[in-house]
Structure 1
């Protein structure tokens, strides 16, 4: 970190458009150009919704196959309550420091000031960057898979392979990645919010339609795994649900809010979680009800059997197009921490944001980051297994553990208080789940290793 003054964005919350009163000389180029503080609480809600309500939620019926009805509903509900509480705690800590004139714009800035410089530089910063860039790779893979589904619905005997569709999707992202700042995504993320509601409604309606049709599969809700496999399956399912709720960029999202920030993040969370409740539960319950323990990693895969669609082609195409477009918006959100690092390293905050000096390195290095992500997605079409490991190591610490620690260290609640022990218990349970989930994820990677092949047409 260059200095506490720069990295913590020590700013007043009373005036100024960039982080509440800091002059541009107080901010590095990453904070100055990417994390512009100009948005409203409603814009914050759009960003939060895009970060959380992503096509990864289509794996929730599969998580239910490892947990059963009662376990699935219980874990889905518990994770929703804990993450809402956790994100609100994180917001309260951010607001507290903003009122002290030391607004944090990045997760690593919080860790730097609350836990010490080493935590920000060597743990939180690299962990967040790795998780978010992993999400970019996963979104690129998912976008390519969506394109391939659209192609196969239109041409069932088509010969194009997955890596070709991933490259096509990467080409789109190459253009979209040049959007200058997080705040610039507000209109894109409003469209994303509408699209996630649309494809979740289509998925729910499609599952119910198939469940009541003559082609309905034989439904069995019994958990097929036994013994040790069943235990690891439970932890894999918990990791899937935790990763689905996770995002790891709450400080960066709150950084887009124009000062004063007090109370705005809570309103944004209410917008986001109204969408979360309506989408997560409808997709998880309808998908598991329709397909039982045959629900696949993405429930949309159950809509086709042996290449034959169980629903009208136009309906499938519409659903896949909604998913494809929304995943592009999700990718842009998770690209922002990488963009912050790129601007901080290669841009000059003393020059204009759109000066030749800053535009050229921005274009070159953002394009390079998209090209690398696209190449990795094409090479590793089994990246879902790796993301489960990333989720256990990254999403759980960032979203379930650190907010509890930050709150207790910042506000120092009495050790006899309910909030202190509640936060402590949540943090301890999350640490255990993170460690066991990581072991379960590594075990699953080892089991699936025999099917791994670079550039596989999966």
Structure 2
């Protein structure tokens, strides 16, 4: 058991094994829960929560949204983009309400796997939720240096087209940047980084929107067609692949850990943070998706920036590509640091000594070593597997959808036990069932796409 004294004068004793923090207004304990105090560090405001949420959701994945429209068409694209926004906001708010409920009764849950253990029972945390969340987080940490490396390589090729540097070298450079950010001690210490990330995401989304509109109205505008391409089978699988892409774009997978950074009392703060986050989503997702699909139609590539190059020459000035790719690079580094936090928390559980200070040599040395090895492993995977984006679509189907679309509904129904005759119960059940179907179909569609692209796969490819 351990204590954490917050800014509001409340004292919480934490039990990391049972997965919650118990509020005792006059208790004292000589120990501390290292993961809780060292990484999650509940000192943030709802503004900080909004920054963390935005960085975890609004990322370069939004550049794939015009491509998802090529698989769904105008009607399907706008419909699923809107439905995903409504369902995820609703889902994350339900998750927040469950967390607030347990905090109010004296058991503040800190982590996703702790919710699973406390609500579903022992075993769910170790054998289901924990592995799924680790897959999401470490997969995102692998994708971070990969996306950043591709941005750096593009900038390099733009000004030095005959250069000899390979993609894996740029990935290593981004891995070093991630290594530095990984040493920031706590989630709360990322709040200023994530404020900058929020500004960057809005800025590069605006640039891409303006660029799409400019190209669409220019004399070099490509011919536009909005019909779905391929055979009937391709169209069917494309629909589910497009839905999976949109679901992944809205996914977070670390909502409880973000809410754990809030200083008590937590009531109402997560909702404000979600409102801030989704106002940014409304600004960025719709603008990029609609403008990109309008400008390029069913020829929109997997990332809309590729359409800006043109067949023979860039359709926009070099400075546009320089600024846009630089902003994407910086923002994706911040996103990578956010998704490192659950892994960092696991390291603190394994190697941290709660009886010693956070910055004592006993805790600093294993922290630096474990985090550095984690980033080095992720960077190595990114350099070896530059086609990792295809695998992320598979992760989205099998990991993001269960954590963000299914479990929140189950947690709410099991915690608050709404009447089986109520709309709330059946609405939550319907979302969970439909999402379960999407897991299976989306997974099949993702595997099919991987098989189709397999001919281009080889280790350390210079893509």
Normalised by the length of structure 1, the TM-score is 0.96
Aligned to 1:25: 31
SS at match of 1:286: helix
Q: Is the 8 Å Cα contact of residues 9 and 26 (structure 1) preserved in structure 2?
A: no
Q: Is the 8 Å Cα contact of residues 20 and 110 (structure 2) preserved in structure 1?
A: no
The aligned runs of 1:208-247 (5 Å cut-off) are 208-247=213-252
The reply on whether 1:293 has 2:298 as its aligned counterpart is yes
| Aligned counterpart for 2:271 among listed residues 266, 271, 288 | 266
Aligned to 1:114: 119
Residue 14 of structure 1 deviates from its aligned partner by 7.1
CA distance in 1, matches of 2:21, 2:440: 38
Residue 49 of structure 1 deviates from its aligned partner by 0.3
Aligned to 1:5: 15
CA 24–194 in structure 1, closer or farther in 2 if over 3 Å, else same: farther
Aligned to 2:368: 363
Q: Is the 8 Å Cα contact of residues 11 and 22 (structure 1) preserved in structure 2?
A: no
Aligned to 1:56: 61
Q: Is the 8 Å Cα contact of residues 64 and 284 (structure 1) preserved in structure 2?
A: yes
CA distance in 2, matches of 1:318, 1:137: 24
| Aligned counterpart for 1:185 among listed residues 176, 190, 205 | 190
CA distance in 1, matches of 2:48, 2:22: 22
The reply on whether 1:454 has 2:459 as its aligned counterpart is yes
CA 15–387 in structure 1, closer or farther in 2 if over 3 Å, else same: farther
CA distance in 2, matches of 1:390, 1:365: 25
| Aligned counterpart for 1:278 among listed residues 254, 272, 283 | 283
Aligned to 2:406: 401
The reply on whether 1:311 has 2:321 as its aligned counterpart is no
Residue 11 of structure 1 deviates from its aligned partner by 2.8
The aligned runs of 1:6-155 (5 Å cut-off) are 6-13=16-23, 25=31, 27=33, 29-155=34-160
SS at match of 2:109: coil
CA 15–190 in structure 1, closer or farther in 2 if over 3 Å, else same: farther
Query: Could you list the runs of 5+ residues in structure 1 that have no partner in the other structure?
Result: none
Residue 8 of structure 1 deviates from its aligned partner by 3.8
The reply on whether 1:418 has 2:444 as its aligned counterpart is no
Q: Is the 8 Å Cα contact of residues 137 and 377 (structure 1) preserved in structure 2?
A: yes
Q: Deviations over 1:111-132 (max 9, x none)?
A: 0000001101110011101111
Residue 447 of structure 1 deviates from its aligned partner by 1.2
The reply on whether 1:389 has 2:394 as its aligned counterpart is yes
Q: Is the 8 Å Cα contact of residues 14 and 260 (structure 1) preserved in structure 2?
A: no
Q: Deviations over 1:4-60 (max 9, x none)?
A: 9323444345769xxxx8857362x22221010000001000000000000110000
SS at match of 2:107: coil
CA distance in 1, matches of 2:159, 2:217: 25
| Aligned counterpart for 1:168 among listed residues 161, 164, 173 | 173
Residue 173 of structure 1 deviates from its aligned partner by 1.0
SS at match of 1:117: coil
Residue 227 of structure 1 deviates from its aligned partner by 1.5
CA distance in 1, matches of 2:20, 2:53: 24
Q: Is the 8 Å Cα contact of residues 19 and 115 (structure 2) preserved in structure 1?
A: no
SS at match of 2:123: helix
Residue 140 of structure 1 deviates from its aligned partner by 1.4
Deviates more, 1:83-92 or 1:446-455: 446-455
Residue 226 of structure 1 deviates from its aligned partner by 2.0
Q: Deviations over 1:261-296 (max 9, x none)?
A: 000000000000000000000000000001111111
CA 304–22 in structure 1, closer or farther in 2 if over 3 Å, else same: farther
CA distance in 2, matches of 1:22, 1:271: 36
Q: Is the 8 Å Cα contact of residues 59 and 299 (structure 1) preserved in structure 2?
A: yes
